[in-house]
Amino acid sequence: MEVGYAAPVFGAGRFEVRGTLGAGGAGVVYRAFDRQLQREVAIKLLRQASGRDLYRFKREFRALADIVHPNLVTLHELHAADGDWYFTMELVEGVSFIDWVRPPRTTSGPQRTRADIAASPVNEARLRGALIQLVDALVALHRAGKLHRDLKPSNVLVTAQGRLALLDFGLVAGMAEGDPEKLAVGTPVYMSPEQAADQPLDEASDWYSVGCMVYEALTGKRPFEGDSEQVMTRKQTELPVSPASAGAPPDLVRLCMGLLQPVAHIRPNGMSILTQLGSGPSPTTRRISRSAPASNFVGRAEEIEELRRALADSHRRGVAMLVKARSGLGKSTLVRRFLRSLGDVVYTLEGRCFEREAVPFKMLDGVVDSLTAAIMTLTTENIATLVPKEIGALARLFPVMRRIPQFSEAVAASAVPPDPQEMRRRGFTALRGVISKLSRLKPVVIFVDDAHWGDFDSCVFLAEMIHNGEPGILVIVAHRPEDYLGVVALLKRSPGGSPRRGDVRDLEITPLSDTEALALVSQLAEDPSRAPQVVAAAGGNPLALTEMARTPGAAAGVKMEDLVRMRAQRLSPDCQAMLAVSAIAARPLSVEIAAHAAGVVGGHDEAATLSAERLATLRQVGGEMILHPAHDYVRTAVLGGLDTESKAGWHEAIARAFEAVQGPAQLDQTAVVEHWLAAGYPENAATHAVAAALKAEEALAFRRAAELYQIALTFGPWDAVGQRDLMSRKAHALVCAGSLDEAATLYGHAAQLLPDDESIDLERLRVEALLRRGRLDEALPAAERLLGLIGIRIPLNARASRTKLATQWMQMKLRGLDFTERDVTEIPPAKLLVTDVLYSVASGLAFADPTLGRVVQSELIRAALDAGEPVRVCLALAQEVGYAAAAGSRNRAAVEAVGARLMAVAKKLGAPHVIGFAQAAIGIAAHMQGRWKEAREQLEAGLAALRDHGAGVRWEIDTGDTYWLATLFYLGEWRELGRLTQLLLRDAIDRGDEVAQQSLRTGRSNNAWLLMGKPDEAAAQLAISMPTIGEGFHLQHVSAMVAATNIELYNDDVTAARKRLDEAWPHLERLGVLRLQQPRVELRSLRARVLLADPRADGSLREARALGDELIKEATPWAEGLGYLVRASSHAWVGDVDAGLTDLEAAEEALAGAGMQGYVQIVKLYRGRLEGGPGPTARAEAARDFLKDLGAMDPDAVAAYLMPWPG
């Protein structure tokens, strides 16, 4: 899409626009992410809402709203808001019909020439396959009573997998409706003679258009050429030259010429065309025609073959198969039959979700149990190869892994990071590694059943595994259409916006046909004469068919639920009680707990009876017998026979059974919470909810912990202190889950429960969350109020800030950095709180308003040194070294002095995470002064220490990562930059951390996609970040502006780049960033590049050369190198070769000294161009190859946007 600050907003923020797919006279189609459905969609927006356009627009949507066919694009929802009309639809990634059947010999632009199409040979196999799909789709459309009326190659897309999709139904009309519009609408080249003549239309009109497309596919030419009037006139009476002259296959020639007959009734119809192509209507098309299911169930041969094909394909790259079916259609049976057929040629890792089960990572719980069991069957040598480096974090996430002796022994030697988010990340990484290594022994199939009851935390893992597409792994996810929490949709997401390496497929299970149902019942029923009645009553549902067939005396028309209740009523009272408990629980229960709740002694005989009656499933897990309903139909039937009071009584009995049978340490707190709530005892539930939340936090399931804290808050009889404590705990869980907006709100609510002087720390946490989230419109006034509570007033404007800074600088110069070290117990808490408040505000403002942040930082350094608590002194010194470095390279001595003091204090403390924090801060300072090699060394060491040993330092890690990536950009390590940017972005998305995502999608990180030759992706990533940036003009806006301008330079949209930069420049001056060396150098270099990209504009070269001179005056190698390069380009544009070569030589020396190898190669490339001749040309080619090796996929394009050059 067009790069800009504001992407179109649809659905009150429900849709996240990611790019533009196309535009026409009246509409624009966007690529977007639907947050509600958790998948990418296409959005068609009506841009010019005349009455006729709106009529067509609505008709386009309504024409297909109720028609479902794999070769017709799926339309989702029609919306009208604020005068705009738009609808959402399936996103089809593909090429046009002609581009598919006559693929270009070489990569071409979006619009191929007629000569190129004619010169490209037809792929007959593709043509036949696509044609069968197109005809089948049209037959379905016609059987639904619709005509397309605008068939042409651009309205028929084919995906890379060969799936054809027919789209653009703006001219669809019903065959029987009176159309108030003129009928001669469409595309003249492809419309039928009768449509061109404004005559009534039927299916034959669409078949003529298909004939035009077939003709073009066979010959590379259209049937008739000329202006529209000539073409429409010739079609009335003429046939085109036969494709036989182009050597086309005879059968396709006959078909094509038949379709192009001027007389409509002579043309073949859809069924005839399919027959000529050696095919017939698909099951879906047959279903549309008779409104009855048509797919096969008995034997499930087609579905089993799909699964086998997926397993075979997974040997090359990972495959995920999402198996969807309504309750009772046999999705679980199908998959398990497939898995049994594989025997021991694969490792099967199986898990299942239950409605009321709320264990951490419940989609993975059974999978990891199966994984553990599989590993324990291996030899000692093989197990040793599977032990991951991060076994400690893995065992913390999934303690069951400790059952493997070698794993358990390795845990003791494995360091576990204290930061919960880092521990979770490492645990997931370790689990992926174990499964990956296991797949090298033999293929792995992961099967998650009933995923519609799944959880978000597990989805993070499975989505990443699906995205990675690790060879040798097949993931099968079975689910019902009701994706209650959106977890199934999340599995289809491509994290980080990067191309998915895995292959995601859908397999939908449909009901039995009458014939198949009759065959099944005939095999099962004792009285075959009942079969037609059973089939009529069961509606093609295999489970209902089976149960009715096996139940003697089941009346015709009886419902499945009634049938279950009839069978249950024949059981003993104890069996009925056990069945009721099992249905109410909606999760697997041990027989002991179920029996205790039901008031039954023992319970094992009753459980066995329920299993024999096919009303419950009984299995052994870890030495316990586990009972749960055999199917959802059983639950529904049992619950339907209970009144509200009875259900509440059973819930109470189950809650008490858990408490009685399980000890306090083993008590399933989450289960007890849900049952006490359903029983009508909210206070009991609230007490257990707190304990359950703590367990969830220990298991690193932070979102679940937040939900449980909310239950405790809602239902507990807490006083103000208790409410404040629970709000704080929930807010902390939300921070760990990356939900800073919610956390800030909750901290604010908690603070309101206390007087101002007691609420300061909660307000601090609120302001910190707002600043780190980038919500500056709310954060800045809140920060001002917070600072006022500790007696500090901040300046109201930039001039006052500079005046105060001068005073503070003089005071600090007199004071120095010495301090008297004090233990934390020796310092009044109020004094420590002041330091904490100042750190939270100063660290947040550093990336929002650096001038104001520097004022607060000066207060922080003085307060921390006066207090003397060494950890807080380190935090303050770390901030100080960064702010000092911002002044520029001339301040290097002061920066090194502060850095040395910081490192001395950190080393004296001896804590690895404090030393790491100091290293990261010194690395950031080195980066800000253009000392790239030192920056990388310090940042890598510091970030590694923070990840290994730091707790609650996610924001500090994310900040360090941003500078690390920027350092890689300047060092020219572009391949690594691309890899890490996408990796870190996926991690930030998984954590729900919008601030980290924003920094990775904007600024210098956005260069990663340009270097990979993906400007559209760079623009899409930037567009995603724009809604999160907020109001005003702060450093986030600077980063976005820089990224947008770079993209425009890459795309040679110089006018837009110059307009953007001109508009932003006054804001940059007011923000004060041009007084800081690094952003000043980057922004002046950017402005010079924009000017040099359009040297013909008045004064451009003169201003660019002046900017180059200013850069050279910065007296730091990286700025000097960029300055000389700017000057060299300005000389080259006017043909001053000698001056250009002189400045290029100076640029190369300076840039090499700064370690900027990418820029050095750009200089060499331009020197070769400027010098000319064989030798220089060869050197230029070598530089181009070097740039490719560094990771610049298109070296010339990269060089051109990083420094425009003539030619």
Instruction: Please identify every residue annotated as catalytic.
Output: 150
- 1018-1022 own/partner pairs: CB under 8 Å, 24+ apart: 1018/1043, 1018/1046, 1018/1047, 1018/1050, 1019/1, 1019/3, 1019/19, 1019/1047, 1020/1, 1020/18, 1020/19, 1020/31, 1020/497, 1021/497, 1022/3, 1022/1047
**For residues 512 and 541, what is the distance between their CA atoms, to the nearest angstrom?**
7
Total H helices, total E strands in the chain: 56, 18
Given a contact cutoff of 8 angstroms between Cβ atoms, the answer to whether 1160 and 1146 are in contact is: no
Q: Which two tokens stand for residue 746?
A: 């909750």
For residues 159 and 182, the answer to whether their CB atoms sit within 8 Å is no
Helices (H), 737-828: 740-751, 760-773, 776-789, 798-815
Helix (H) or strand (E) holding 488: helix 487-491
> What is the C-alpha separation between 7 and 1029, in angstroms, rounded?
12
Amino acid letter, 470:
E
Amino acid identity for residue 147 in this structure = L
Rounded Cα distance, 720 and 742, in Å: 20
**C-alpha dist (Å) from residue 131 to 63, 151, 210:** 22, 13, 9
Pairing of strands 347-352, 156-159: unpaired
Give the Å distances, CA to CA, from 386 to 382, 442, 443: 7, 13, 15
Q: At residue 454, what is the residue type?
A: G
Return the residue matching tokens 């649809």: 10
What residues contact residue 664 under an 8 Å CB cut-off, 6+ apart?
none
Q: What's the rounded Cα separation, in Å, for the pair 451 and 485?
A: 10
d(CA 1074, CA 1070): 9
Q: Of the candidates 152, 12, 35, which has an alpha carbon nearest to the alpha carbon of residue 96?
A: 152
3-state secondary structure of 327: coil
- Asked if 348 and 339 touch (Cβ cutoff 8 Å), the reply is yes
Torsion, Cα 538 540 543 544, to 10 degrees, reads: 0
d(CA 716, CA 726): 10
DSSP at 120: S
634: left (phi over 0), alpha (psi -120 to 50) or beta: alpha
Report residue 770 CA to chain centroid gap. 24
**463 close to 496: Cβ distance less than 8 angstroms:** no
Amino acid at the residue 893? A
Q: Which residue has the tokens 């117990």?
A: 825
